[in-house]
Amino acid sequence: MTAVDTETRETGSGASPPASHDEAASGRASKPRGKRRLGPGKAIPFGYLVGPLLLLGIWAWGSAQGWIDPRILSAPWTVAATGWDLWESGRLGPDLLVSARRFALGLTIGVLVGLVLAIASGLSRWGEAIVDGPVQIKRSIPNLALLPLLLLWFGIDERMKIITIVLGVLIPIYIHTHNGLRSIDGRYAELAETLRLSQGAFIGRVVLPGALPGFLLGMRFAVTSSWLSLVVVEQVNATSGIGYMMLLAGTYGQTDIIIVGLVLYALLGLGSDTIVRLIQRRALSWRRTLED
């Protein structure tokens, strides 16, 4: 057996440029500096809540001072009370459940379809030739404009609502995953060839993880898009759901109920975006970006 050199540290390796030169010159104590000089700096705990809370504060302040007419915008506490009443009387629960179900179903199917289309089009020229055009066409047609046709085709039942959401969701998933796939460094494909990776291993180990940042970005748009489509389908033609509840309230001039609906949409939207961001952080821990 040959003894192999097992030193564990490189001396002055090229990977991390020694930062000591200018520091010695400025005579600073040589402890690791806590903050990067350029870039956004360290993350604020729960920082993403600051903006929304600020908005809430302004709303509450304005209502308390009497600057905001309650007929235009009910006070936060009125909205909270109304929301509680709706919940107590059992009117909110079923609507919320129906909306959540549509959201989840539409999102899941949309993500799967978008993903399959992106992989087909990202990995095969024929796939791209067939898939990419129609997706780009769909991208330029707003869901609202498709609605009359979808209504004619699928009627006003659940199917039409889910399909509308799916159509909204698959676009961002497709665009960002496809882009992520195509921007994977070609040198990794070269490596895969020298290692004689099978097609399956290549997709599983190189393509999908490499496209994951793109996919997750698409996921954030998809979640938002799913809520937006939900609002649209529930307000155009529905007999249940949060949107329907708001529509009904609108005809009776019940501002507080409308706001309850809006707040629910906002909370659900923010909540689901937060979940995606948490997944993003965990799944992309191999990266070092300005985010960290």
Partner 1 sequence: MATHAGGLTATTAAVHIRDLHRSFTDESPVLTGLDLDIEAGEFVALLGRSGSGKSTLLRALAGLDQDAFGTGEITVPHQVSVVFQDSRLLPWQRVLSNVVLGLEGGGAKARGKEALAEVGLAGRERAWPRELSGGEQQRVALARSLVREPELLLADEPFGALDALTRIKMHGLLRALYERHRPAVLLVTHDVDEAIVLADRVLVLDAGKVASEVRIELEGHRDPSDPRFAAIRTELLAALGLAGGVEITQEES
Instruction: Catalog residues that contact partner 1 under the rule CB under 8 A.
Output: 1-16, 187-188, 190-198, 201, 205-206, 209-210, 212, 285-288
In contact, 57 and 50? CB cutoff 8 Å: no
| CB 189, min distance to partner 1, A | 10
- What dihedral do alpha carbons 121, 123, 127, 131 form, nearest 10°? 0
- Report the candidate in 86, 90, 83, 103 with the shortest Cα–Cα distance to residue 259: 83
In terms of CB distance, is 124 or 199 closer to partner 1? 199
Nearest approach in angstroms of CB 115 to partner 1 is 18
Residue number, 135 or 208, with CB nearest to partner 1: 208
Q: How far is the CB of 143 from partner 1 (least distance, A)?
A: 34
Q: Which of 168, 169, 174, 171 is nearest to 147 (CA)?
A: 168
Shortest Cβ 199–partner 1 spacing (Å): 11
DSSP 33-90: PSS-SSSS-SPPTTGGGHHHHHHHHHHHHHHHTT-S-TTTS--HHHHHHHHHHHHHTT
Shortest Å, Cβ 44 to partner 1 = 24
For residue 196, what is the DSSP state? Answer: T
| Least separation in angstroms between CB 1 and partner 1 | 8
Q: Which is nearer to partner 1, 17 or 27 (CB)?
A: 17
Residue for token pair 């700096």: 41
State the Cα–Cα distance between residues 30 and 32, nearest whole angstrom.
7
- The smaller minimum CB distance to partner 1, of residues 37 and 288, is found at 288
**Cβ 283 to partner 1 shortest distance, Å:** 9
With contact defined as beta carbons under 8 Å apart, do 260 and 270 qualify?
no
Which CB atom, from 141 or from 191, has the smaller least distance to partner 1?
191
CA geometry: angle 189, 216, 167, nearest 5 deg:
105
Nearer to partner 1, 195 or 267 (CB): 195
* C-beta closer to partner 1: residue 32 or 253: 32
Contact yes or no for 214/183 (Cβ under 8 A)? yes
